[in-house]
Amino acid sequence: MTTYRWKDLTDGQKAAALTAASVQLSLAATAWTDLAFRPAAQVRGRKGVWALVIAVNFLGPILYFWRGVNHHAAAVP
């Protein structure tokens, strides 16, 4: 297995890595913020479990918005 260091990467590889990290952090921050402010009645399952799921790279936040949010639940005033 070859280990690469940051200095060994090309400029394009560095840009791709930084872009992927930025997208991941943005997705996670958006999902955690939504989870924090969304009433528990509008979340499928326990909020604590979803907070952990969101920490999983890319897949966690996508799963939260796809399966965790109950879009058909009545809005709480």
pLDDT tens for residues 19-63? 999 999 999 999 999 999 999 999 999 999 999 999 998 899 999
Asked if 61 contacts 28 with a C-beta cutoff of 8 angstroms, the reply is yes
- As for how many domains the chain has, the answer is 1
Q: Is 75 exposed, middle or buried (0-12, 13-18, 19+ CB in 10 A)?
A: exposed
Residue 50 lies in a domain: yes
Q: Note the pTM of the prediction, 2 decimals.
A: 0.81
Tell me whether residue 61 is in a domain: yes
- Does 74 reside within a domain? no
Q: Is residue 57 part of a domain?
A: yes
Residue 51 lies in a domain: yes
Confidence tier at 70 by pLDDT (50, 70, 90): confident
Does residue 2 lie in a domain region? no
**8 Å CB contact between 38 and 68:** no
Residue of 36, 64, 65, 30 whose CA lies nearest to 50: 64
Range of the domain at 17: 10-68
